[in-house]
Structure 1
């Protein structure tokens, strides 16, 4: 109960003008990127040539997960803006799903890097390793791993809180699931371990592709150099996602100092890291890839021609 009242105090103690501006800024940034992400996903679904390549299948799943993440995050921002408390029976599964979606993109980034590693370092085996069946299996595994920890956290919470806890009302944020100190510390340690493993895999793939690029010649060298630049982009994306994860721990320290500063840091985390890692960089990736860019142009021209015919 004290946590609920503390959270309400935090939100209501913030400058209403600043809160209105930041909420409006979120709307301005989120909705165009949701449209762009869905357009790129629609492009993937429309073009059979894209659906046959594993990296585009992984990329499409990222777009879908990030669009859902933006929609759910925007819902949380709006409820905070209007000070709307929701039943915990709704907030807890909602927060668990939202938390699971935050892990989808970093895990798919790693899968895409491994796919590029196989394609460049073992080109003759790529077709056999990433068959349609195995690609689908990887998709399922990534989604399963992304939602495994929220599911475990839910099980821990349900085993430690009384049933009356679910009858309360609160804002929808993930800390309502972490009711004990050791559980919160466990979550932080698992976060660090998870992203260290992902960064290690990316560095390994990047170094391996650099070695191939130096030894290759002609078309192979060009493909290796292109793969190297793609991995650099994914590495930047994963670093931003890591900073996005670290920010809540910074917020926990800032909240003890000043409430208004806490709100600023909270919105900055979403606008700077979430938007960059889950909207801007995927957009760059889509436009950098010649095949995907050509497919987007084709779909856009098709839509434009239909509009003119309709007129």
Structure 2
């Protein structure tokens, strides 16, 4: 009689899931080390923390590192079937929801910074100063908190008081009781998706026009800026698809639990880890100033 838990190749689904969790740990540790190295490099030179471009990059690295750590902890807790009080789960998911939105909104702001640098170079110093960067970070966190407030306001409007003391597996699905809550959340997510997509397309179109008319060194710099916007667009697309993932997971869970496990793992790797692993490539390795600082202030040197 065949084992119902067996998979092709003789592995049980438990063993396969165990392999998946180990792979995730390796990937997370590697990129946390890279992010830490880039953050140390950022603070090694005055030119970085006095430039809006690099300040936004550093905040994105910190945000991504936080999401990698917290989402990985939740993955491990789910793997070991560890339950917690819903009150504690709410606090964790408030922070996770906030920083899940911080990354795409920050990417949009970084795209606008490239647009200003290329299409409005004479005003770049004025619009993208250190003071402006601080204000921009505050605005980004304010905008990112709106979907979080909407989701949890709906939750508290429907949840009973004794629910907060109950223990369950910590998952976003426990915050949705009624179908209208899903509709409200989906509408808010789509609104953000539309606004950020329009911003990327607008910046890309404007930079394309400048690239066609530029010449010499300006042309080279403009095309490099255009490639950065394209990478941001791809990274942003992955982040925005992640906003749809709770709806996909909920639909798959109703069909088959094992399929839900595999889909959730695929979503975590593709739309959670992948876009946050692109940041070191876009600004850490492609940027000449940052790459030189990384070479001379990295682990291969004893001092900067």
Instruction: Return the TM-score normalized by structure 2.
Output: 0.92
Distance 1:245 1:58 in 2: 22
- Cα deviation for residue 295 of structure 1 reads 1.2
Q: How does 1:146-161 map to 2 (within 5 A)?
A: 146-161=144-159
- Structure 2 match to 1:3: none
- Cα deviation for residue 244 of structure 1 reads 2.1
Query: Residue 120 of structure 1 contacts residue 227 of structure 1 at CA under 8 Å; is this kept in 2?
Result: yes
- Structure 2 match to 1:253: 251
- Structure 2 match to 1:62: 60
- Structure 1 match to 2:33: 35
The aligned length equals 291
Alignment partner of 1:273 is 2:276: no
Q: Which stretch of the first structure deviates more once superposed, 118-127 or 152-161?
A: 152-161
Distance 1:37 1:148 in 2: 27
Query: Residue 108 of structure 2 contacts residue 199 of structure 2 at CA under 8 Å; is this kept in 1?
Result: yes
- Cα deviation for residue 219 of structure 1 reads 1.9
Distance 1:130 1:304 in 2: 32
Residue 177 and residue 254 in structure 1: after superposition, are their counterparts in 2 closer, same or farther (change >3 A)?
Answer: closer
Alignment partner of 1:243 is 2:241: yes
Q: Give the structure with the larger helix fraction.
A: 1
Q: How does 1:287-302 map to 2 (within 5 A)?
A: 287-300=285-298
- Structure 2 match to 1:165: 163
- Structure 1 match to 2:214: 216
Cα deviation code 1:116-142 (max 9, x no counterpart): 111111100111111221111001111
Q: How does 1:102-141 map to 2 (within 5 A)?
A: 102-141=100-139
Query: Which residue of 201, 204, 207 corresponds with 1:203?
Result: 201
Distance 1:68 1:305 in 2: 28
Distance 2:228 2:151 in 1: 34
Instruction: Return the TM-score normalized by structure 1.
Output: 0.90
Unmatched 5+ stretches in structure 2:
1-11
Root-mean-square deviation (CA), in Å? 1.5
Q: Which stretch of the first structure deviates more once superposed, 69-78 or 150-159?
A: 150-159
